[in-house]
């Protein structure tokens, strides 16, 4: 399945990329699966997208839980939690 990836704020800075198109394997079916799949790319990816790290995920511009299913051509975004003051 072909998806679009977007990375924002400190996630973008740590990974050194803002966006990319990706062909995910058949085993990648949810937003959480994308996170785990990307974390396997190497140390920086693993640290930035680690399971225990506070990170928001969105599917097609809506914040969603990790078990949200993907669909062909969707956009998956990763960004840090926003705090206000």
| pLDDT digits 0-9 by tens, 4-51 | 999 999 999 999 999 999 999 999 999 999 999 999 999 999 999 999
pLDDT at 83 over 60: no
Q: Please, which pLDDT band fits residue 82 given cuts at 50, 70 and 90? A: confident
Name 59's bridge partners. 62, 76
Cα angle 41, 14, 59; round to 5? 70
Euclidean distance between CA atoms 81 and 56, whole angstroms: 6
| Terminal CA-CA length for the chain | 40
pTM given for the model: 0.94
Selected residue with higher pLDDT from 63 and 84: 63
pLDDT of residue 84: 55
């Amino acid at each position: 399945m072909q998806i679009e990836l977007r990375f924002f704020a400190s996630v973008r800075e740590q990974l050194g990329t803002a966006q990319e198109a990706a062909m995910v394997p058949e085993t990648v079916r949810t937003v959480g699966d994308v996170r785990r799949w990307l974390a396997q790319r190497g140390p920086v990816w693993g640290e930035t997208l680690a399971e225990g790290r506070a990170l928001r995920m969105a599917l097609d511009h809506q914040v969603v839980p990790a078990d949200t299913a993907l669909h062909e051509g969707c956009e998956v975004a990763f960004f840090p939690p926003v705090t206000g003051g």
